[in-house]
Amino acid sequence: MSEVRDMVIVGGGPVGLFGAFYAGFRGMKATVLEALPEVGGQLTVLYPSKYIYDVAGFPKIMAKDLVANLLEQARRYDQEIRTEEPAQNLIRHDDGTFTVTTPKGEYRTRSVLITAGIGQFTPNTLDRPGVKEYEGKGVFYFVRDPMTFKDKRVLVVGGGDSAVDFALMLVGVAKSVTLIHRRDRFRAHESSVKELFASPVNVRLHHELKEVRGDGEKPVEAVIFHNQTQEEDTLPVDAVILALGYRANLGPIADWGLELEGRNIKVNCRMETSIPGVFAAGDVVYVEGIGNLKLLVLGFAQAALAVNVAKIHVDPTAKLFPGHSSNLAQAAAKS
């Protein structure tokens, strides 16, 4: 019989990595299963160079640095982290254990923590002339490295957090930044919107993209229009960033028999799902009485709570309260 783990964590984003650390903190052996080639979830894939301001103890920290710190923290207890292994099936056994399968193997475990973020996601695009033609050659959906846009004339399309963050990120890097939004109100954080209007970014409200024109190799201009007056304007551009949100789904997890609330997994205040021994935390959850609050700092707290409750599930003689971190660290060093 293969090794039985204390916990399998489905999702190697920031919440999953912190969950792996905390499982080790509680003396639990965990395996993290991440579908992507790298851990870090959205922070790695979408905006590694974005600053994050709402992590306790860090006035600001770049996303990729936070991921690196979380990975170092998780590896303190030698937790197994496996990339390019999307979880596929959840098999429940009569003895209360589970098997989580991936295309590469099977993992037997006493508990499961789902930290799948927003799940599998693909960016929303626009059916406009030139968009498909110049994808990857000047039309992008996110900013991984701001220096890609150094000294370029950039057009950002969108009105959410990503659009505003990308525009602000490129100030001082790009030659010019124009942001167009089809409405006059933004969905982004209030502080970011205030910073946007105080920045050199050229903000054009009630504007939409009509066409991207290029020379066959790259974009050279974009046609935009005012959606109330229909007046058109042609902007010289070197790059267009479409920050229009993402389509997300739970993938195979949706078929595991969990109680769902829309695209989220329903949990109680103890982060327990409808299946005993299966827990969830982070952006993927809908908490009874609260709903879905996609806050990184809240995801960290939920992961810690889930692991503490899972510890009791795995070992009924254990206590819910783990003690203070300094005491646990001293005990771990002596063992």
Which two three-digit tokens encode residue 224?
Answer: 């935009």
Residue spans per domain, the chain: 4-121+247-334, 125-244
Per-residue buried b or exposed e for 151-175, using 16+ beta carbons within 10 Å of the residue's own CB:
ebbbbbbbbbbbbbbbbbbbeebbe
Classify residue 209 by its DSSP letter: E
Q: What is the pLDDT of residues 121-169, one digit of tens each?
A: 788 999 999 999 999 999 999 888 899 999 999 999 999 988 999 999 9
Please report which helix (H) or strand (E) contains residue 70, including its range: helix 63-74
76 CB contacts (<8 Å, ≥6 apart)? 21, 24
Residue 89's nearest CA partner among 254, 278, 269, 307 is 254
Classify residue 135 by its DSSP letter: B
Q: What is the pTM assigned to this prediction?
A: 0.79
Q: What is the pLDDT of residues 64-92, one digit of tens each?
A: 999 999 999 999 999 999 999 999 999 99
Q: Could you tell me the fold of the domain covering 125-244?
A: FAD/NAD(P)-binding domain (3.50.50)
pLDDT in tens, the chain (335 residues): 478 999 999 999 999 999 999 999 999 999 999 998 899 988 888 778 888 988 999 999 999 999 999 999 999 999 999 999 999 999 999 999 999 999 999 999 999 999 998 877 788 999 999 999 999 999 999 888 899 999 999 999 999 988 999 999 999 999 999 999 999 999 998 999 999 999 999 999 999 999 999 999 999 999 999 999 999 999 999 999 999 988 878 899 999 999 999 889 999 999 999 999 999 999 999 999 999 988 999 999 999 999 999 999 999 999 998 887 766 555 555 54
Q: CATH top-level class for 4-121+247-334?
A: alpha beta
Residue 38's nearest CA partner among 7, 61, 17, 60 is 17
| 8 A C-beta contact, residue 57 and residue 41 | no
